[in-house]
Amino acid sequence: MLILLPLLVGWLSLGYGPSGWIMPDASVLLGLRAPDTASGIVMLELRLPRTLIAMMIGAVLGACGAALQGLTRNPLAEPGTLGASSTAALGAVAAIYFGHAGSAGAGPAPAAAGLLGAGLGLGLVLALGRGGGLSLILAGVGVGALATAFISLALTFAPSPYATLEMIDWLIGSVADRTLADAALLGPFAALSLVLLIGCGTGLDALGLGERTARSMGVKLGRLRLQVVAATAIGVGAATAIAGGIGFVGLIVPHALRPFVGHRPGRLVPASMLGGATLLPLADLAGRLIGDGTEIRVGVATALIGAPVFLHILLTRARAERGTW
Amino acid sequence: MFRPSPSPFSRAVVIMAGLFMATPVMAARADPAAPAPVRPGRVVSINLCTDQLLLRLADPGQVAGIGPLARDPKLSVESANAALVPQVSASAETVHALKPDLVLAGRFGATAAAAALERLGVRVERFRPADSVATIRAGLIRAGQLLGPQAERRAADEIARLDAHAARLEALAAALPHRLRALMLRADGSMVGPGGLAHAMLTLGGFSNIMAERFNPDGRARRGGDWRVELEAAIRAAPDVILVETMPGAAPALVHRLPRHPALARLTALGGTAPDIIEVPGNLLVCGLPDALDIAERLLPVAARLAAPPPAAATREEAKS
């Protein structure tokens, strides 16, 4: 069921758009035949990349959220709250505006810089938030705010007359008008990240029983932590370099699916991967259709859903002192 | 085809953003007939478009300071002259320190600085963005009157050239067999809508703007300016020609990606129904100066060439209906 949902949403996302329904044509999409109509070009060059990118980024963010929540045993952990999205965006912005990139956007350099930014940011947050729990989230918020400020500063000093528009793209996130080259760049990073995260399942399950129990079961905590952080840096770094910081998917997807997988982090990671791959294209599709030709950015759509869920988590967490996740 | 667009709200945000980014010149609200009582000796401009107006019309030595953007040849047609006068940032404190007799400002940019200068007792004149030949002319007249008799004479010369140029272009455009439907992409990824300077030059250049079709033709409130439309909606509206604004040498920006999207390149391979893709230099469209008409001048031969073969055009019309 959960496997079919992303495919269904992906198919709808290819077919529906602001210019109406186009029947997906497999031979064009698979590259067997060059598109010979404007509709075919719209399908291949505009809807296919954004659908693929939204599915990949949704999968990465969902899986990262589940793994980070399991690792930190904190229900508020996700790439956004831990500052990884902002630091990745800062890396990509620095690469684009002060690097050699003659042309903005897709290219290995911004992706690598985003990856580096996310890795450094997460490392800093984990080092600062050694107390665990709340101090980790607070460190993430602090590092994230710092990175956001630097992004604004960099865009203000970069001689771009479009600095304001740029900030919206980087801070809210969008998958609009990306190209197949963007999707091809993101693919390997997303795949590597997902493989690493799913490989953490057993360790996260053991960690769910407590650190001491996990150690007695032979789990190397340092290695587990490194694997989750590296996978998050790789996935979120590349995702942010392509689409900017898309928030809340990593937060809400694991929370929505946790009751269905029996509160086991090991099973929650692949489930959240599929859930994210459903939610993000769905939010993107909704943003395209509601906006009537002027899109509502996917980051806005996800935040509209995510912020209330975030608040709900804060409230219920305040009531019940400790829950299981 | 485009659907009618009943959701102007999100669009208004984009339009507002556009207005803040480039704040071109134009004549204003106030009585344009009232001449300045005395010739102001020290004039400061804090807007890219009034900068250029000032440089073009003022006497040597009359310019006490202009904004930093006017030196950028990508944005300004007066960049060489701009390098010869002092540069000033658009803050009330730095401008006030220059003890100006008159400050020229844009209607939409640096509004806080302009208001603060007025509170400090400095005379501030605000110019609206020009969106037509008439408003370019009005801007020249007003700036000339504000700057003194010499400037007024220079403005009169500019206006004579402007009117002659516009009349010649209009005659050429009127002689076209028919107007092709054009979509124009700005360098920032927005699309040229009716009401702005780019739309005026598109029309003067012999095209009809496909984005005008998004508006109710029965006189419901029309909104002007550029905004962002989904590229797929624009492509499926089947324009005859796609004009792409270029900003050579501009700083890299994500927003510059849209005009280079592979979907546009692929359109040219469609054969009979393929829209032509024409590059248009964007630096002349930033401000409403007489130079903007050079865009229409460059577009007219293109419009004439593309409208010329009647059989191809006829089949295209059929395909559309």
Between strands B180-185 and B241-246, the pairing is parallel
Distance from CA of B3 to the nearest CA of A (A): 8
* Chain A residues closer than 8 Å to B270 by CB: 36-38, 41
* Chain A residues closer than 8 Å to B236 by CB: 19-20, 38-39, 42
DSSP states of A49-101: HHHHHHHHHHHHHHHHHHHHHHHHT-TT-STTTTTHHHHHHHHHHHHHHHSS-
Judge: B251–A158 Cβ closer than 8 Å, yes or no. Answer: yes
DSSP states of A203-269: HHHHHTT-HHHHHHTT--HHHHHHHHHHHHHHHHHHHHHHH----SHHHHHHHHHGGGGTT-HHHHH
pLDDT in the model for residue B14: 41
Measured in whole angstroms, how far is the alpha carbon of residue B199 from the centre of its chain?
8
Judge: B228–A160 Cβ closer than 8 Å, yes or no. Answer: no
Nearest CA in chain A to B75: A161
What ipTM was estimated for this complex? 0.74
What distance in Å separates the CA atoms of residue A214 and residue A208, rounded to the nearest whole number?
A: 8
pLDDT in tens, B303-315: 988 887 655 444 4
Judge: B231–A177 Cβ closer than 8 Å, yes or no. Answer: yes
Sheet containing B63-65: give its strands across: B63-65, B43-45, B102-106, B124-127
Query: With 60 as the cut, is the pLDDT of residue B265 above it?
Result: yes
Determine which of A13, A33, A165 to mutate to test the interface with B (most B C-beta atoms within 10 Å).
A165
pLDDT in the model for residue B166: 95
pLDDT in tens, A167-177: 777 888 888 88
Determine which of B5, B210, B229, B254 to mutate to test the interface with A (most A C-beta atoms within 10 Å).
B254
Distance from CA of B108 to the nearest CA of A (A): 15
pLDDT in tens, B61-91: 899 999 888 888 888 888 889 999 999 988 8
Judge: A45–B230 Cβ closer than 8 Å, yes or no. Answer: no
Query: With 50 as the cut, is the pLDDT of residue B215 above it?
Result: no
Helix (H) or strand (E) holding B183: strand B180-185
Nearest CA in chain A to B231: A177
| Contact in structure between A125 and A80 (CB atoms under 8 Å) | no
Which range among A71-75, A135-139, A295-299, B154-158 has the greatest average pLDDT? Answer: B154-158
Of B233, B252, B266, nearest to A293 by CB-CB distance is B233
Q: For B277, which DSSP code?
A: E
pTM metric for this prediction:
0.78
* Chain A residues closer than 8 Å to B188 by CB: 162, 165
